[in-house]
Structure 1
Amino acid sequence: MCYSTALRKEREKIEKELRNQIKVKFDANSTYKPYFHLNGFTHGNLQIIKMDEPNTIYDASWGIIPDWAIHDPEAFRKKSNTLNARSESIFDKASFRNSAEDKRCLILADGFYEPHHENGKAIPYFCYQPSTENPDGDLFLFAGLYNEIDDNTLSTTILTTDANDFFMEVHNKGKRMPLVLDPHYFEDWLDDGLSIPEVNELMAVGMTNKSFTAHPVSTDLYKRNVDTNKPYIIQPVQKDTLF
């Protein structure tokens, strides 16, 4: 599962980092500001690139709303959690099926948080991809789905898959991970000519081979009424000081 993300880069930096992979600009109406922690259950905006407009970055409310629920999104979200979609079943679930066929998207992030369980307690881990150019983490793109709520509002969900060896150690209870696409597959994921078998094949092989790093962070991440959208929330802490 992936219920918390980070995107700490300025707009210009994001556009520059993506330039050699997919040429994009932010939509003029985007409200994007860099953030250290977005809790999916607030249904705040993620930034996405859509199939039908692959050169524009749009805001999209986290938690996809299917066509049959757009008349009352709040009621749907009270009953259904669509922050994530299991990649193995997107063509089987009514909430995801239509979007899986023709409304796939790429979702921007440069970090996310996963729970690690020890001695019956959950410890949040910050996961990112450091590099020489960006020691705090490169930009990467999740595979996602989206749908329109109305003419001006989009909604989205992050795809997940079985954890690889690294994330089996981090997310050691749920043993899932978000599907972070290799740049080689960005254009393929947005291709409206893919068949269902081809989409399933892409999800099976599309996870990036680039290594992630993860470290424990403050359990403030799990507390209510604490503003965790601050730089300290990504800083490593000693696990023996958390509880």
Structure 2
Amino acid sequence: MCYETSLSKKLKSIEKHTGAVMRYPEVYEPWYHLSGFTHPNMFCIPMDEPDTILPMEWGLLAPWADDILKFRKKYNTLNAKAETLLTSNMYKEASRERRCLILADGFFEPHYEKMSGPATPYYCYLEDRKLFSFAGIYNKYDEDYWTVSLITREANDFFAEIHNKKKRMPLAVDANFEGEWLDPDLNDNGIEEVLATCFMREPFKAHPVSRDLYKRGIDTNTAEFLQPVDDGAGEQGKLF
């Protein structure tokens, strides 16, 4: 699972990196920590407009969701599992027809020093906190209203050590596969092949950050929540 991300780059830097243009630049604000449970906008490149960056509300809404509040209460669609993407009634149509790239420069995963104890959030990122993208799927629920799910898969060895209870990881897409994920001509076999092989080739890094990240009622959208801290017991947290 992946419910928390960062995207702290300036708009011009994002547009230069992606070669795409933000359709609604007035709604973009960089963030250090974003929780999916507040259903915020993430910024995504859709397969039907690969030169455009669109704001998409985190948490896919099904086309049949008449009451958004009731739907969100019943279904957690922040993540979609790669293993069942093409068989799930919730996700299979979007996975075939509406794939996207979700922009980020980092994300947070829970790590347990003791399985019965509290989790320590770990911040995960590439060298120099470079911009990258997650694989996503989206629906257009209403005019100028898109919603999106971030795809996850079974963790590799690196992320199984970090996310050591659920052992899942977000599907960060290697730059060489971004075009393939957006290819409108992909059939089911092609989609499954990309899901199986597209994970980021560059190594990720990770370090512990403040457990205050999980507290309610405080502003976590500050740079301090990206900084390494000890493990909560007065010792330097493990670096990955």
Report the TM-score, using the length of structure 2 for normalisation.
0.94
Deviations 1:130-169 (A, max 9, x none): 1xxxx2x000000000001211110001000111111011
Q: Equivalent residue for 1:166?
A: 158
Q: How do 1:130-141 residues align onto structure 2 when only pairs under 5 Å count?
A: 130=127, 135=128, 137-141=129-133
Aligned equivalents of 1:62, 1:123: Cα separation in 2: 23
Q: Equivalent residue for 2:104?
A: 109
Residue 30 of structure 1: how far off its partner (Å): 5.2
Task: Check if 1:6 corresponds to 2:3.
Answer: no
Relative to structure 1, the CA distance from residue 102 to residue 30 in structure 2 (aligned partners, 3 Å threshold; closer, same or farther) is farther
Task: Check if 1:97 corresponds to 2:92.
Answer: yes
What secondary structure is seen at the aligned counterpart in 2 of 1:154? strand
Q: Equivalent residue for 2:45?
A: 49
Q: Equivalent residue for 1:36?
A: 32
Instruction: Please give the root-mean-square deviation of Cα atoms over the aligned residues, in Å.
Output: 1.1
Deviations 1:148-202 (A, max 9, x none): 1211110001000111111011101111100011111111111111101110011
Aligned equivalents of 2:26, 2:46: Cα separation in 1: 14
Aligned equivalents of 1:17, 1:198: Cα separation in 2: 26
Q: Letter of the 1:15 partner, please give it.
A: E
Q: Equivalent residue for 1:200?
A: 192
Task: Check if 1:127 corresponds to 2:124.
Answer: yes
Q: Letter of the 2:92 partner, please give it.
A: R
Relative to structure 1, the CA distance from residue 178 to residue 235 in structure 2 (aligned partners, 3 Å threshold; closer, same or farther) is same
Task: Check if 1:220 corresponds to 2:212.
Answer: yes
Q: Equivalent residue for 2:78?
A: 83
- In the TM superposition, structure 1's runs of 4+ consecutive aligned residues that sit over 3 Å from their partners are none
Residue 73 of structure 1: how far off its partner (Å): 1.6
Partners of 1:30 and 1:58 within 8 A in 2: no
Task: State the identity %.
Answer: 46
Report the TM-score, using the length of structure 1 for normalisation.
0.93
Q: Equivalent residue for 2:238?
A: none
Q: Equivalent residue for 1:156?
A: 148
Residue 241 of structure 1: how far off its partner (Å): 4.2
Deviations 1:51-105 (A, max 9, x none): 1100000000000001111x21221110110000000101111111110110000
Q: Equivalent residue for 1:186?
A: 178
Residue 29 of structure 1: how far off its partner (Å): 5.5
Residue 28 of structure 1: how far off its partner (Å): 3.1
Task: Check if 1:209 corresponds to 2:201.
Answer: yes
Aligned equivalents of 2:21, 2:69: Cα separation in 1: 30
Q: Letter of the 2:33 partner, please give it.
A: H
What secondary structure is seen at the aligned counterpart in 1 of 2:112? strand
What secondary structure is seen at the aligned counterpart in 1 of 2:100? strand
What stretches of structure 1 of length at least 5 have no aligned partner? Answer: none
Aligned pairs, how many? Answer: 232
Aligned equivalents of 2:174, 2:26: Cα separation in 1: 26
Aligned equivalents of 2:234, 2:192: Cα separation in 1: 43
Q: Letter of the 1:121 partner, please give it.
A: P
Q: How do 1:16-27 residues align onto structure 2 when only pairs under 5 Å count?
A: 16-18=16-18, 23-27=19-23
Match of 1:68 among 49, 56, 64: 64
